[in-house]
Structure 1
Amino acid sequence: MIKIINRFYLEKIKIINLRKFIFMNKIIIPCVLLSGLCYGQQETSDSIKSANIDQVEIIGTKSVITDKSESVGRIPLKNLENSQVYTGITSRLITQQKIYNLDDVVRNAPGISKGAEGWAGNVIYGGTEYTSRGFQTQIKALNGLANNIAVVGDIQNVSKIEVIKGPSATLFGSIITSYGGLINRVTKMPYEQQSLSVDMSAGGFNFGRVGVDLNLPVNKEKTLLSRTNIAYNNQGTFTDNGGYTQNIFVAPSFSYQLNDRIKIDLNTEFNAQKVSGMGSNVMFTLTPAVLKQYVAALLAGNGVPASYISSVTSKMPSTIQEGFGTNSVSDFNLDRKMSYYDKNLVSRSTTLNLNGNVEYKISDRWKSLTSIKFTQGSDDGYETRMILLPNVVKGVVAGLLSGNLAGINYGTPGADYMARMSRRFEDAFESHQIQQNFNGDFKIGELRNRMVIGLDYYHQNIQSTWRNFQSNKYGSLFGYPYQNIFDTVNIKEPNTNYYNFERNRLDGLYQSSQVAATIFGGITNIYSTYINDVLNITDNLLVNAGLRFDRFNAKGIFDGTKNEYKNGYNQSAFSPRFGIVYQPVLNKISIFGNYQTGFSNVGGNDENGNVFKPEHSYQFETGVKYAFFNGNFTGTLSYYTIKVEDKVRTNPNNALFNIQDGTQKSSGFEAEVLGNVTKNLNVMFGYAYNDSVYQKADSSVNGLRPVSAGAKNQANIWVHYHFENTNFMRNFSIGAGANYVGETLVMNQYPDGALVSPAYTLVNAKISYDKPSYSFTVRINNLTNANIWTGYTTIYPQMPRQVVGSVALKF
């Protein structure tokens, strides 16, 4: 394994420029060495100052869901005091379930399911999207700050995942939130006890992982603490090309208590990733309506008269049912084990996060928190697209090539062929953020106020280079040259040419092509200020009010061919929030309501030259939270309505321009029940229903459910028991869980109709033998070997049944 790590790391270093390499040597290596030296010098500590430290637990039988958070409201609030709905998934649950990636973590939150997947190995367009309240969101918050870069999904440095529901721009802005909410990743921080934990695992499809967590006090006074998390992860593909993903992750962190008023924290994360032959997908973008437009343009470009074009397109399929022969993805009988390309299509990426915090206690009532964050990422690799083609495409192209348009064979409904496309990408991402918060806990008369006043500056710079080719040498669209289409293959019968879709041939096309590289990018600056106050009118009655102002500056889209920025714009936005909480039984039952808002900056202008304003969302929500039996039985029931206004849509009176009067509505119900039934029995259950619709939109989707809204019905359950007082099973733990995701829409538009992906149930289970200092675990992912495809417009095959064994040690 050491040889594999060394070889992978050396290959990755080659693509990092000298400046980044020097920077990493100055920052990362000394951090690791410092931790190692301290380990040899520091004596074991017998005491722990804080009861809330994030230690590594082998058994993990304590509460697995947090009931208090400072980052959700940027104010320390108990869940029952917070008018917003959220789920805080702790590292204890991660340990208990024995999971290693963030996709599995967020499934524990009600109403959260996997949506689309980004391009493998891409720092800007990669990462997983999740459905929340009818909208897509990603893990873009890190310790409450912006982390607008594709997140590598390993859990090694995760202390807690906070899934925050609904528009949340007042406290978090627009860059990392969606109208359905946001997901905040809280990292591990050092504590005073010396400890070392090692987790080693191996499993099906060449899965192998080693994780190390080393926590060390640096000095005898324990005012300077260090913690280093390291993980190496290799996951092979379940497809036929033998691909894999490798990650090396290093995360040193430090905490320094300068005096009784000042504390300094530093969190660092570095990740190097290599993706080989991963990211299989099937795209359904060529619907009958789109296909007719393409064919009309293709024929017109070849001088075919308009009347003849109309005759051809009128005979083509008009709906998905007519074109593909079905409205269900399951009827295509797609083989999830087929990759359709060679594993030498490799993508590489590196990311770096630096986050520093200085906390200063101004008085007993006020404190200051100054946060600085720097993020950098780069990548290079190949984007692959597999577009499923209706059979009619072959006949139309054959008629065009032969010149016999009158004798076109329109074929039979179905999709026997796939177009293979590729582009090569190189990206660079850089951002920095400075945030200043003042937190107060004070009284005005007899009324308690918990307040945050904040200032925030965020800067982001991205640059992307895409290399295209004119397919005129190795392949085409059924013999017709078409940009970026490598070739078409028959997916209904064996084909020995599947693996000729590979790097050397593609690079040859890029080099010989007459198509110039596309270079574009953008610079964004956001200036923000916000205030939020939670007022205790009585012990049982709380009201919350907050307001944010954002000034958004987009320099424009960078045009690399002309070396200039185009279409820059400035926008301003206000984002208020209000909430009320009444506890009829103090610390037991909480009745809450909230009004929360969000916004999204959009560029462009209407036919009169008026620049568009930000798009806005408004949520009204009410519900009940409860915590019985000393907090061992908790839950939330809520109903929400989210309305989006000022959406940009095509002007129905002038299709060459857009107007900004579109609306969308998303409403639903969510329930969460968490029970520590006994000391050793944990039960979690969640259910979510969502109804989403375009109320005023382009005619092709008006009145329809957005494909990005996910499933209407979702449910999740997890049950875990630790045997403590039985002779036969003593120290064993068993756990099982399931996620149900209802029917989802892959395509849904007029006049094509809908293409549906069927409902699925994902079942996972584990058994372990647990002692305080070690643990042996066997986990089975996708126990029933369900054939699962996720996503919209493009669908992605999910992992078949996988058995993983692991050993965890704590010293």
Structure 2
Amino acid sequence: MPLAPDARQIGFSIPPQALSTALIAYGKQANMQVLTASPTLAGMRSDGLQGMFTPDAALQRLLQSSGLAYRMLDANTVAVTPAPTAPVDPADAADAHRAGAPAKLLEQVDAAALTEHAMGDVPAYASDALRYAADSIAVPQSVNVVAPHLLASQQVRTVADALRNVASVQQIENPLRAPLFKIRGIYTGNGMTDGMPNSFVGLGGYPPMIGVERVEVLKGPESILGDSNGGDMSGLINVVTKQPLRTPKRELSYVLGERGDVQAGLDTTGPIGATPLSYRLVVSGQHADSTAQGYGPRNAAYLAPAIAWQGDDNRLVLGVQRVTDRQPAADHALLLRNRVSAMTPRSLRLGNAQDHTAYRTQRAYYLFDQRLSDRWQLRSRGQYVTQAIDARNWGMLSPSPKGAVRAYAEAYRNTTAYYTIQNDLVGSFGDGPLRQTVTLGLDYTRARLGSSDYFIRMHRNRYDVFGDERLGPVHWPHSRRGILHYPGSPWSSRSGILLQDQISIGERWDVLLALRRSAYEISSYDAKGKLRQLRRRRWVPNVGVVYKLTPEASLYASTMNGFAPSAVLGKNGRPLPPALSRQVEAGAKIDLFEHRARLSAAYYQITVDRSFDLVLAHPSYFARPIDSQSNHGLDLDFVGALAPGLELSSSLALARIGRRDGTPTLGVPRTRFTLWSSYQFQDSRWSGWGVAGGILARDHTLGRRLAGGYFKIPGQASVDANVSYRTETWGVTVGMRNVFDRRLYADEFDETFVPLPDGRSLLLTGSYRF
């Protein structure tokens, strides 16, 4: 049945994506309510829509070859349903023709329902990590999405760079160059890849940005999703990797930076002949001669082939990813007195030029979707990952005002392995004012920390960092003598049962109820060095409510819970209770400028209980509990298009953290602000040209000396800018980081390791599509 007669044409901008989110975008742009049953759209893919169309013509194009039809319920509401299998008269046949061929499960690509050039999650959002799809205005929590266009506009090269767009996320620099982050002032864990929790052992790791579709930040405790590795107390980072598409695409990309920094990559995807198969291949290599202080070289490689099979009612993706990365030591300094102004010169290299950390990650995964009926769908995900690390660095302790230190050579290597399986059975019920989508999830993770070797050798005398003596490279000894060997731990497992119910009541109310039963194992060594394995269980509830003031504005409130098992022992020789966190959040989301921009605000309070300070970092790992802490703050985020060609992404985080014992909070600024804007010239004389720029600023933070005492880390601001030119087939961007060459500091450090962010630098990036 066609829509009500309406000859008006509307500008639609809906890129290829999951049909469920494409229909949400259609409803926003056409100012109509679209009703569907989730399993009806399970795994279906839309080729998108660009241009001026009537609402009727636009919906026909979106549903083309989907096996779906539509009918009007009233002037502003349309229902999408399976098409009749056998039309009985010409009128029915015409309606069936609107939906095309018999129902077919198309590509499963969970993506933000964005305009082609939108910078964020406007106007819809769907995520494997959340394990449900919904209009983002109806999600009762704060979620940030760093989308592809923003990544390209900023010349982003790492996940850490991408997360600079979210003010409540901080990267914490460390000697091992491991990806450590804080969300809302609390350390997060190893995050997720494609919605699956990464290892709860080891250090984790992320692929280069050429292999990343987008980066998501889910704020609030997320034990409900299965990540109980100790880092879900305040949020999670989910990295969505690129998957096979039916639409052919081939792109070469390159990066040229300073000090011999070169990177080249290939991203190609498309169908394999006339078969139901499609493929994707992403390849990248990077080399840099040295850092500003002379550490180097940097060598990295990435290989990620994947293949997808598409049936009428199911879809299977198989993929492999391999990452190798030799990262030189981070440029750093020492504090010689109790203030940052008294640090060693930025040009002085403290260690040896060959200090480095080498990572290797290999991942095999599958993604499977099966439509069981019009109301039921099965989603299954799995991955097997092995990781290895080899770190060799010089460290320094007890720096004196004149530069004398206790230097030591340190080497560390280990391996980890883990696998994860997720299975969700999703059912959708109700076609009237009360609609429900129920998810029953089962997931299982096993992980093993392999054997580890550790070597440390103190320098024979006090070392003068200003003297003529230079430290030699760190090598592993030829014999086992002097190497501390730790046998690997046995396989440990964690499992969970998830029951989740999305309830829509009329057009105004949405309720999300979730309950998870988590089971986990704790492996620890007692005071006699004997391995102990304990099994524990815990229930985790989450509740959220959304009230839609209008289709463009909503208010929400939610409570979320998290826990982190602890393998360390208290003084009674038994494992400490798990750390617990609870967040209460209330917020608002508003769509602006005809749904091409989103303003969101969230006030939160997180309480963390039974945290602990490590006392002995070797068996028997005695620890003592410390007082609870409470974090509260306000997050403001804006993303979208202000006018033709003009786009803006901005984020503000205001945070306050307190502990009952009055201990100062380290490394968390009270105010953090980020803004990025880009403009593509609309005048035909300047067609293809664009400019962009932004700022990242924060308030002062507090650091602590290992020897005792605190010091102030000053506030700062850094400005980046670039100029770009793009055509249909190629594009190039010339950018400048830290335009005003400000002296920047990391958010958190002690006197033995003061990370030094880069000064002013140039970067050239480009791409060629063929």
- Report the TM range for the smaller structure's normalisation: 0.7 to 0.9
Q: Is the 8 A contact 2:439 2:501 kept in 1?
A: yes
Cα distance in structure 2, aligned partners of 1:705 and 1:282: 24
Work out which of the residue numbers 559, 582, 589 in structure 1 matches 2:553: 589
Q: What's the secondary structure of 2:278's corresponding residue?
A: strand
Q: Is the 8 A contact 1:634 1:674 kept in 2?
A: yes
Cα distance in structure 2, aligned partners of 1:566 and 1:358: 38
The match for 2:233 is 179
Per-residue CA deviations over 1:438-472 (Å, capped at 9, x if unaligned) read 1222229742112221111101111243333454x
In structure 2, do the counterparts of structure 1 residues 119 and 771 end up closer, same or farther at CA, with 3 Å as the change threshold? same
State the Cα distance separating 1:754 from its structure 2 match. 1.6
Kindly provide the amino acid, as one letter, of the partner of residue 733 in structure 1.
G
The match for 1:798 is 757
Q: What's the secondary structure of 2:168's corresponding residue?
A: coil
Q: Is the 8 A contact 2:408 2:456 kept in 1?
A: no
The match for 1:745 is 702
Cα distance in structure 2, aligned partners of 1:657 and 1:141: 30
State the Cα distance separating 1:690 from its structure 2 match. 1.0
In structure 2, do the counterparts of structure 1 residues 730 and 227 end up closer, same or farther at CA, with 3 Å as the change threshold? same
Work out which of the residue numbers 515, 529, 550 in structure 2 matches 1:547: 515
The match for 1:760 is 716
Cα distance in structure 2, aligned partners of 1:262 and 1:591: 37
Per-residue CA deviations over 1:242-290 (Å, capped at 9, x if unaligned) read 5121111011122111x22111012321112223x42344577xxxxxx
Residues 1:721 and 2:679 aligned together: yes
Kindly provide the amino acid, as one letter, of the partner of residue 81 in structure 1.
A
Work out which of the residue numbers 160, 165, 173 in structure 2 matches 1:116: 173
Work out which of the residue numbers 264, 273, 280 in structure 1 matches 2:325: 273
Cα distance in structure 2, aligned partners of 1:344 and 1:558: 38
Cα distance in structure 2, aligned partners of 1:343 and 1:608: 46
Cα distance in structure 1, aligned partners of 2:675 and 2:583: 27
Cα distance in structure 2, aligned partners of 1:796 and 1:557: 34
Q: Is the 8 A contact 1:135 1:178 kept in 2?
A: no
Residues 1:169 and 2:223 aligned together: yes
The match for 1:235 is 288
Q: Is the 8 A contact 1:470 1:514 kept in 2?
A: no
Alpha-carbon RMSD: 3.0
Cα distance in structure 2, aligned partners of 1:612 and 1:445: 50
Work out which of the residue numbers 641, 646, 659 in structure 2 matches 1:694: 659
Q: Is the 8 A contact 1:571 1:614 kept in 2?
A: no
The match for 2:644 is 679
Judging by fraction of residues, say which structure has more helix. Answer: 1
Work out which of the residue numbers 172, 175, 183 in structure 2 matches 1:132: 183
Deviates more, 1:378-387 or 1:801-810: 378-387
Q: What is the 5 A alignment of 1:112-261?
A: 112-117=169-174, 119-120=176-177, 127-137=178-188, 140-148=191-199, 149-152=203-206, 154-175=208-229, 177-221=231-275, 223-257=276-310, 259-261=311-313
Cα distance in structure 1, aligned partners of 2:394 and 2:537: 38
In structure 2, do the counterparts of structure 1 residues 742 and 387 end up closer, same or farther at CA, with 3 Å as the change threshold? farther
The match for 1:772 is 728
The match for 1:76 is 133
The match for 2:358 is 348
The match for 2:315 is 263
Work out which of the residue numbers 687, 690, 708 in structure 2 matches 1:733: 690
Q: Is the 8 A contact 2:745 2:755 kept in 1?
A: yes
Residues 1:426 and 2:480 aligned together: no
Q: What's the secondary structure of 1:107's corresponding residue?
A: helix
State the Cα distance separating 1:725 from its structure 2 match. 2.0
Cα distance in structure 2, aligned partners of 1:379 and 1:752: 31
Q: What is the 5 A alignment of 1:697-716?
A: 702-708=661-667, 710-716=668-674
In structure 2, do the counterparts of structure 1 residues 429 and 73 end up closer, same or farther at CA, with 3 Å as the change threshold? same
Deviates more, 1:147-156 or 1:366-375: 147-156
Q: What's the secondary structure of 2:209's corresponding residue?
A: coil
Q: Is the 8 A contact 1:282 1:387 kept in 2?
A: no
Cα distance in structure 2, aligned partners of 1:94 and 1:280: 25
Segments of 5+ residues of structure 1 without an aligned counterpart are 1-46, 121-126, 285-323, 392-413, 479-487, 696-701
In structure 2, do the counterparts of structure 1 residues 675 and 469 end up closer, same or farther at CA, with 3 Å as the change threshold? closer
Q: Is the 8 A contact 1:741 1:759 kept in 2?
A: yes
Q: Is the 8 A contact 1:667 1:692 kept in 2?
A: yes
Residues 1:616 and 2:673 aligned together: no
Cα distance in structure 1, aligned partners of 2:187 and 2:412: 24
Q: Which TM-score applies when normalising by structure 1?
A: 0.75
State the Cα distance separating 1:426 from its structure 2 match. 1.9
Q: Is the 8 A contact 1:746 1:795 kept in 2?
A: no
Q: What's the secondary structure of 1:117's corresponding residue?
A: coil
Kindly provide the amino acid, as one letter, of the partner of residue 678 in structure 2.
H
State the Cα distance separating 1:511 from its structure 2 match. 5.1
In structure 2, do the counterparts of structure 1 residues 533 and 242 end up closer, same or farther at CA, with 3 Å as the change threshold? same
Q: What's the secondary structure of 1:92's corresponding residue?
A: helix
In structure 2, do the counterparts of structure 1 residues 178 and 117 end up closer, same or farther at CA, with 3 Å as the change threshold? farther
State the Cα distance separating 1:631 from its structure 2 match. 1.4
Q: Is the 8 A contact 2:306 2:319 kept in 1?
A: yes
Cα distance in structure 2, aligned partners of 1:748 and 1:668: 27
Q: Is the 8 A contact 2:129 2:192 kept in 1?
A: no
Work out which of the residue numbers 342, 353, 358 in structure 1 matches 2:368: 358
Deviates more, 1:683-692 or 1:628-637: 628-637
Residues 1:529 and 2:529 aligned together: no
State the Cα distance separating 1:80 from its structure 2 match. 0.6
State the Cα distance separating 1:661 from its structure 2 match. 6.9
In structure 2, do the counterparts of structure 1 residues 261 and 268 end up closer, same or farther at CA, with 3 Å as the change threshold? same
Cα distance in structure 2, aligned partners of 1:129 and 1:516: 27
Cα distance in structure 2, aligned partners of 1:497 and 1:661: 43
Cα distance in structure 2, aligned partners of 1:369 and 1:172: 16
In structure 2, do the counterparts of structure 1 residues 365 and 585 end up closer, same or farther at CA, with 3 Å as the change threshold? same
In structure 2, do the counterparts of structure 1 residues 325 and 201 end up closer, same or farther at CA, with 3 Å as the change threshold? closer
Residues 1:456 and 2:443 aligned together: yes
Kindly provide the amino acid, as one letter, of the partner of residue 440 in structure 2.
I
Q: Percent identity?
A: 17
Q: What's the secondary structure of 1:227's corresponding residue?
A: strand
The match for 1:3 is none
Q: Is the 8 A contact 2:493 2:520 kept in 1?
A: yes
Residues 1:96 and 2:96 aligned together: no
In structure 2, do the counterparts of structure 1 residues 162 and 565 end up closer, same or farther at CA, with 3 Å as the change threshold? farther
State the Cα distance separating 1:159 from its structure 2 match. 0.6
Per-residue CA deviations over 1:33-89 (Å, capped at 9, x if unaligned) read xxxxxxxxxxxxxx998899799xxx9734443531232421111111100101011
Q: What's the secondary structure of 2:132's corresponding residue?
A: coil
Kindly provide the amino acid, as one letter, of the partner of residue 715 in structure 2.
A
In structure 2, do the counterparts of structure 1 residues 347 and 773 end up closer, same or farther at CA, with 3 Å as the change threshold? same
In structure 2, do the counterparts of structure 1 residues 611 and 103 end up closer, same or farther at CA, with 3 Å as the change threshold? closer
The match for 2:14 is none
State the Cα distance separating 1:342 from its structure 2 match. 2.4
Cα distance in structure 1, aligned partners of 2:560 and 2:412: 38
Q: What is the 5 A alignment of 1:471-486?
A: 471=458, 475-478=459-462
Cα distance in structure 2, aligned partners of 1:657 and 1:208: 47
Q: What is the 5 A alignment of 1:318-467?
A: 325-326=337-338, 328-329=339-340, 331-389=341-399, 391=400, 414=401, 416-443=403-430, 446-467=433-454
In structure 2, do the counterparts of structure 1 residues 282 and 387 end up closer, same or farther at CA, with 3 Å as the change threshold? farther
In structure 2, do the counterparts of structure 1 residues 627 and 527 end up closer, same or farther at CA, with 3 Å as the change threshold? same
Q: What's the secondary structure of 2:610's corresponding residue?
A: strand
State the Cα distance separating 1:422 from its structure 2 match. 2.3
In structure 2, do the counterparts of structure 1 residues 636 and 155 end up closer, same or farther at CA, with 3 Å as the change threshold? same
Q: What's the secondary structure of 1:789's corresponding residue?
A: coil
Deviates more, 1:68-77 or 1:356-365: 68-77
Kindly provide the amino acid, as one letter, of the partner of residue 137 in structure 1.
T
Deviates more, 1:175-184 or 1:264-273: 175-184
